[in-house]
Amino acid sequence: MTNFFAGTIMGFREGLEAFLIVAIILRFIVKIERQNLKKPVYYGIGAGLIGSLIFGGLLALLASVIQDQGQVAKLWESIASLVALILITTFIVWMIKNSKNITGKVENKVSQNLSAIGIFMVSFVVIIREGAEIAIFTFTGKYPLLAITIGIFIALALTILIFYSLVKVNIKTLFSITLLYLILQAGFLLGYGIHEGLSALKDMNILSSDHILYIKAYDLSGTLLNHKEGFIGVPLYVLFGWYSKPEWIQFIIQYLYTGIVGLYWFRKQSK
């Protein structure tokens, strides 16, 4: 159930970003009276979806091959999580650089590519980038496909309401909220990768269980803050990547990453 809620929120966040950017593109095309460019947008969306499904399918196939490999599976999940973190961090940096005026940035990008192939590529990149994020988070977080799908459809419904002005939403604020969530989840992904790596090293007898790296920063697993079962811990885990018994190295690196990226975002916003 924990992963279901986390998967729904993740699907909503990624879907909302992609749909809102596509909505901005379509509105701009209507504004400049270039209705003929709508089709390339739709073709780009379709191609992006197909590319995302292929990428997700490859990751799912890879996961099914290694999931019963014990120590190797844990080590692979650790490496895959850290590789995924690098990719997601590039998405975060892009959002931070462009979040102050996301509408203007998108419209400027579209205006520089006012041809069928240019509009197709802009739409394609938007969709496949978010699709890749969904596939990566699904692979590393083991989120149920149904949960992700529900989140995406909620995002689509909200985008339609915004597009037709049925609800008033400050897009900049909305992007800021989803960006904050993404930063927190990326930090959690880093912590998860470290935790799984340490677990693999212990199972492979490379490090002993009493090694200094396994010292816990705290252990709240027997309280309401348990991240898998606790009444308070579960929502904290879903929303903020909370972990109830992290090793010191996991705890320090996870929140150091979150703090550094958050500070970078704050400095960009304050300029």
Three-state secondary-structure class, residue 205: coil
How big, in percent rounded to 5, are the helix, strand and coil portions of the chain? 80, 0, 20
Hey, where are the domains in the chain?
2-270
CA distance 263 to 257: 10
Residue 94 confidence (pLDDT): 79
Residue 70 confidence (pLDDT): 59
138 touches 59 (CB < 8 A): yes
Residue 251's pLDDT band (cuts 50, 70, 90): very high
Span 147-165, pLDDT tens digits: 888 888 888 888 888 777 6
Q: Is the pLDDT of residue 81 over 60?
A: yes
Residue 263 confidence (pLDDT): 92
Percent of the chain residues past pLDDT 70, beyond the cut? 88
CA distance 225 to 236: 8
Residue 99 confidence (pLDDT): 66
What are the backbone dihedrals phi and psi of residue 167, each rounded to the nearest 5 degrees, phi first? -135, 145
CA distance readout (Å), 51 to 41, 47, 80, 93, 119: 15, 6, 20, 23, 17
125-136 exposure pattern, b = at least 16 Cβ within 10 A, e = fewer: ebbbbbbbbbbb
User: Mean pLDDT score of the chain, rounded to an integer?
Assistant: 80
Most confident of 38-47, 67-76, 250-259: 250-259
Residue 34 confidence (pLDDT): 80
pTM of the full structure: 0.74
Query: 67 versus 257: which is more confidently predicted?
Result: 257
